[in-house]
Chains A and B, each alone.
Chain A
Amino acid sequence: MVLVQQADFDAAALSAALRARAGGQAGALVTFTGYVRDYAPEQPTHTLFLEHYPGMCEREIEEICATAQKRWQVFEPVVVHRHGELRHTDQIVYVGVASAHRGDAFRACEFIIDALKTRAPFWKRETLSSGEQFWVQQRDADTEKTRLWDQPEKGKETL
């Protein structure tokens, strides 16, 4: 299930629904929640605006989830990503993955958030407490992390 929405979400309720859908077969549930944080310790964030490309965002995330399901033994993942103006400490994104085994759940969850960061068309604009505004630049570390998932050995390990 993939949702791109302005509204906030209830992470606990999303996890409970995912467990319920797995019908007692999920021995493991791994979730990731991303929040609006200070841009840097000396540069506190006031608000974060998220622009997105409607349609393509949903499709890219659906595709990432489908890839995760092919690669690991996991139930259909849940991803909720917000857009619009968010405040400091607000929730941005939720990724929930249930599996019979923890190894698959951990890997699939990390793969999904890594791939989302370099593929889903969202753009963040920071407004600092000082009033300064700027568009966030993609981090080389994120690109590198996504690239590493293409190396087959990492995905093939299981716990």
Chain B
Amino acid sequence: MSGTPSTINVLYFAQVAEHTGLRREAWPLESPIPGTEWLSILEARYPQLAPTKRLKLAVNQYHVSHDSLIHPGDEVAVFEPVTGG
């Protein structure tokens, strides 16, 4: 499920997937980047996701805060706050 060493495997769920029109994509990433920085690049690519500040991140299937580092090879999921139960 993880990306190759110079990419991350990005997963989009629910509303986010509708906004991007994709469920997953391989995203080039050569070196670690803070989540906040990556989200602003994501927002530039998909302006319809703005503001990305409200979105949640999971790295390798664990919830993480926006200031966590994303590493090449990671599985990164982007989604709205969850609504199960």
Is B58 touching A52 in the complex (CB atoms < 8 A)? no
Known: A93-B85, A119-B63. A53 touches B77 (CB 8 A): yes
CB distance from B80 to the nearest CB of A (A): 7
Q: Within the complex, what minimum Cβ distance (angstroms) separates A139 from chain B?
A: 8
Is A123's CB under 8 angstroms from B85's CB?
no
The binding surface of chain A is classed by DSSP as mixed
A34-B85 Cα distance, complex, nearest whole Å: 7
Chain A residue nearest to B84 in the complex (CB): A122
How many residues of A are counted as interface, with CB atoms below 8 angstroms from the partner's CB atoms? 29
Q: Does B13 lie within 8 Å of A120, measured CB to CB?
A: no
**What's the nearest-Cβ distance from chain B to residue A6, in Å?**
14
Instruction: Say if the beta carbon of A136 comes within 8 Å of chain B.
Output: yes
Partner of A117, one of B62, B77, B80, B84: B84
Quick check: is A109 within 8 A (CB to CB) of the other chain? no
Report chain B residues within 8 Å CB of A57: 84
List chain A positions with a Cβ less than 8 A from chain B: 34, 50-53, 55-57, 59-60, 81, 92-93, 113, 116-125, 135-138, 143
Q: Which residues of B contact A (CB under 8 A)?
A: 11, 13-15, 58, 61-63, 77, 79-85
